[in-house]
Chains A and B, each alone.
Chain A
Amino acid sequence: MNGERRLSLAMHAFPRRFRAARGEEVRGVVAERVAAGDTTAYSWRACADVVLSGWRERLRTRPPLGRYLWYRFGGCLPTQWHGWMRDDLDGWIGARWGLTLATMMNATTLMVSALTDRFHGPFRATILEGFIICPLVGMLIEWSTHRRRKDVLRQHGYNANFGQWGPPSTAPAGPPAAHLVWRVGPTVTAYGIALAVVAPFAAWSLFVPSFTLRHMKSGVFEWGREVSHTVLVGSIATVAAVVLAAITWVLRDRLVARLLTTADSVRRPPWPLPVRVEVKQSFWYSTGFPAALAVFGVVASMLPVAPMIVPVVFLSAAGLAPILIVLGRRAAELEASTGKAVWLRRTLEVSYAAP
């Protein structure tokens, strides 16, 4: 791990608001140390110093236990802890998403198990858990995260009209479009490829009861004898990804104009984000996807070749990466040339949806 990367990781010990306000400055100081000949500026010891100071800062600026519990049970915090509160509302997004996804995937597995008779336990428990409990839990996590953020912000006198990527007046941590999209592009590519490799195994074992690993091996590795479904589908998926990438590259300017916008070009209505939008979103996240897969499971049990569509979808998704990378670059250029934060248009439009 190189020194800069180590320092970046160590900086995460400091609260989010500190990193947003002073992250660049701290990196600047370390760079000046290096320029002045300090060979220990990126050392493990220097990074440990950053970590310790960061945690000390977190402890120093968090509300005391009584206030903390008061806040957790719906009370207001005095202004001196509002910085901490915003970190609390915006932080752990990854963990929350992870929890929702895990619940969702659990529901999917159980639904498919129930529908394809591959589950050997009590059938009623599977139905109850897969179709009712897991979707409900996932929906509640999603819904409560969105609701809580807005309720708490309103309760403390902040403008809660905007979502996670609100315009700068509501103090987001940084220019979202450029940074986020840059990260999403390579991630989607990596996930797409990884899932496309794993998907055939998962899909066949899940949807086709008679599947064994031996079938898969004979299909994939005995190249000289026959072109198996796996090879055929893999080739189609790769071609689809390349074609999609080529199309997005050709259309990049048009897509950038459609997808990106600066914050002040969007009107700011006074109404809050309607609750039903959040409920609808959370419902789809938690139930729509598993339900679609469950239907797919039924189809797959009747038509054994159907599971091979799964890797095609995943690998094709990797073809979306170029447009995300182009968007990220263009957003950064726009931010540099206009001096304004650039946003993904659709996110803002959803946030501004009229009741």
Chain B
Amino acid sequence: MRAGNGTKPWGEVATLIMAALADADRHGYAIVAAVREMSNGSVELGTGTLYGALERLLDARCVSAGGDEVVDGRLRRYYHLTDHGRGVLDDELTRAEALAAAARLRLAGGA
């Protein structure tokens, strides 16, 4: 996606990051931990992947960067899911649910 041209920044990673931010603002490592927890340990976000996806979400204004804090000499920046981001996440989950329902129907019909 190019900044501001309206193309969607999705992929599974972007959706997972938005989901991780849905209930609270989180910093980078907290997002990694939340995604790990949500996926029962099956998805481990790499640091590069995380920040690549965050940049796309920031450009699309789905996520905004909040306050910084320094903990044990490490810089933490908190990210917030915007209202636009919530709408986008909702649409994406609805689409995924519809897709899953259609797939289940086909699976049941084929059995």
Q: How far is the CA of A61 from the CA of B52 in the complex (A)?
A: 11
B2, B28, B51: the one contacting A60 at CB < 8 Å is B2
Output the residue of B3, B47, B51 with the most chain A CB within 10 A.
Answer: B47
Q: Are B4 and A80 in contact (CB under 8 A)?
A: yes
- The residue of chain A having its C-beta at the shortest distance from the C-beta of B5 within the complex is A80
B-chain residues with CB within 8 Å of residue A56 when the two chains form the complex: 52
Q: Are B48 and A50 in contact (CB under 8 A)?
A: yes
Task: Confirm or deny: B1 has a beta carbon within 8 angstroms of a beta carbon on chain A.
Answer: yes
Q: Are B2 and A80 in contact (CB under 8 A)?
A: yes
A57-B52, A60-B1, A61-B3 known; A49 vs B29 contact (CB < 8 Å): no
Q: For residues 34 through 77 of chain B, which have their beta carbon under 8 Å from a beta carbon of chain A? A: 46-52, 55-56, 72, 74-77
Task: Confirm or deny: B81 has a beta carbon within 8 angstroms of a beta carbon on chain A.
Answer: no
A24-B75, A25-B75, A29-B29 known; A60 vs B56 contact (CB < 8 Å): yes
A-chain residues with CB within 8 Å of residue B75 when the two chains form the complex: 24-25, 27-28
- The residue of chain A having its C-beta at the shortest distance from the C-beta of B33 within the complex is A36
Q: Are A33 and B32 in contact (CB under 8 A)?
A: yes
Q: How far is the CA of A14 from the CA of B45 in the complex (A)?
A: 17
B-chain residues with CB within 8 Å of residue A22 when the two chains form the complex: 51, 77
Q: How far is the CA of A18 from the CA of B72 in the complex (A)?
A: 23
Q: Are B32 and A29 in contact (CB under 8 A)?
A: yes
Q: How far is the CA of A29 from the CA of B29 in the complex (A)?
A: 5
B-chain residues with CB within 8 Å of residue A54 when the two chains form the complex: 48, 52
Minimum CB–CB distance from B35 to chain A (whole Å) comes to: 13
- The residue of chain B having its C-beta at the shortest distance from the C-beta of A40 within the complex is B44
Q: Are B3 and A53 in contact (CB under 8 A)?
A: no
Q: For residues 5 through 46 of chain A, which have their beta carbon under 8 Å from a beta carbon of chain B? A: 10, 14, 18, 22, 24-33, 35-36, 41, 46
Number of A residues, CB within 8 Å of B: 30
Q: Are A29 and B50 in contact (CB under 8 A)?
A: yes
Q: Are B2 and A53 in contact (CB under 8 A)?
A: no
B-chain residues with CB within 8 Å of residue A36 when the two chains form the complex: 29
Q: Are B28 and A28 in contact (CB under 8 A)?
A: yes
Q: Are A53 and B46 in contact (CB under 8 A)?
A: yes
Task: Confirm or deny: A52 has a beta carbon within 8 angstroms of a beta carbon on chain B.
Answer: yes
Minimum CB–CB distance from B89 to chain A (whole Å) comes to: 21
Task: Confirm or deny: A313 has a beta carbon within 8 angstroms of a beta carbon on chain B.
Answer: no
B-chain residues with CB within 8 Å of residue A49 when the two chains form the complex: 46-49
Task: Confirm or deny: A51 has a beta carbon within 8 angstroms of a beta carbon on chain B.
Answer: yes
A-chain residues with CB within 8 Å of residue B48 when the two chains form the complex: 10, 46, 49-54
Q: How far is the CA of A157 from the CA of B29 in the complex (A)?
A: 38
Q: Are B55 and A18 in contact (CB under 8 A)?
A: yes
Interface string of A196-226 (1 = CB under 8 A from B): 0000000000000000000000000000000
Q: List 14 contacting pairs A-B, 8 Å CB cutoff, sorted by A.
A: A10-B48, A28-B74, A29-B28, A29-B50, A32-B29, A33-B32, A46-B47, A49-B48, A50-B46, A51-B48, A53-B51, A56-B52, A60-B2, A61-B3
Can you list the 9 inter-chain pairs with the closest CB atoms, starting with the nearest?
A53-B48, A50-B48, A49-B46, A53-B52, A28-B74, A29-B28, A32-B29, A49-B48, A24-B75
Binding site for A on B (CB under 8 A): 1-4, 27-29, 32, 46-52, 55-56, 72, 74-77
- Other A-B contacts than A14-B51, A49-B47, 17 sampled, CB-CB below 8 A, are A18-B51, A24-B75, A27-B74, A28-B28, A28-B74, A28-B75, A29-B32, A30-B47, A49-B48, A49-B49, A50-B47, A51-B48, A53-B52, A54-B48, A56-B52, A57-B52, A61-B2
